[in-house]
């Protein structure tokens, strides 16, 4: 379904394309892997349309794994957005905090 949505978007029928991709996201809500994958697809669709302000990119709405977007060239228009930078910094800080906890557990011998 999302592939058909991209065909519509490619042909500049944005309303039908976004509708189909959103429908696919809703259908995959029970599967974390598919849901996350489809949220990326939805974000791509908005970026292709030139909509860099859509809240699909931000955690208070449909969280996409924000730390992956710093490497995906399609998200480049967002890289200098101040709100995006704050969210990326928060995600990096959370990731580092998790790593620190694992290091402490290894050093204390609780995990090997």
CA-angle at 76, arms to 12 and 100, nearest 5°: 135
Tens-digit pLDDT profile for residues 49-84: 777 766 565 544 445 566 667 777 777 877 888 877
Q: What pLDDT does 80 receive? A: 86
| Cα–Cα distance, 17 to 3 (Å, whole number) | 9
66-84 b/e (C-beta count within 10 Å ≥ 16 → b): beebeeeeebeebeebeeb
Rounded alpha-carbon distances, angstroms, from residue 51 to 2, 29, 31: 18, 24, 27
* Residues counted in the chain: 112
| pLDDT reading at 4 higher than 60 | yes
**pLDDT beyond 80 at 89:** yes
The vertex-95 CA angle with 83 and 60, nearest 5°, equals 40
**What's the pLDDT at 61?**
46
What pLDDT does 62 receive? Answer: 44
pLDDT, average across residues 19-34 = 77
List the one residue out of 57, 37, 48, 52 whose CA is nearest residue 11: 48
pLDDT of amino acid 54: 67
| Arithmetic mean of pLDDT, 27-47 | 73
In this predicted model, which residue has the larger pLDDT, 66 or 17? Answer: 17
pTM: 0.52
At 72 the pLDDT is: 77
């Amino acid at each position: 379904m999302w592939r058909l949505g991209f065909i519509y978007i490619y042909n500049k029928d944005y309303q039908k394309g976004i509708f189909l991709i959103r429908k696919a996201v809703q259908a995959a809500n029970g599967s974390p892997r598919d849901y996350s994958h489809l949220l990326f697809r939805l974000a791509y669709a908005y970026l292709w349309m030139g909509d860099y302000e859509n809240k699909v990119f931000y955690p208070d709405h449909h969280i996409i794994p924000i730390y992956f977007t710093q490497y995906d060239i399609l998200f480049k228009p967002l890289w200098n957005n101040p709100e995006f930078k704050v969210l990326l910094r928060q995600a990096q800080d959370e990731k580092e905090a998790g790593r620190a906890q694992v290091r402490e557990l290894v050093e204390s011998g609780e995990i090997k």
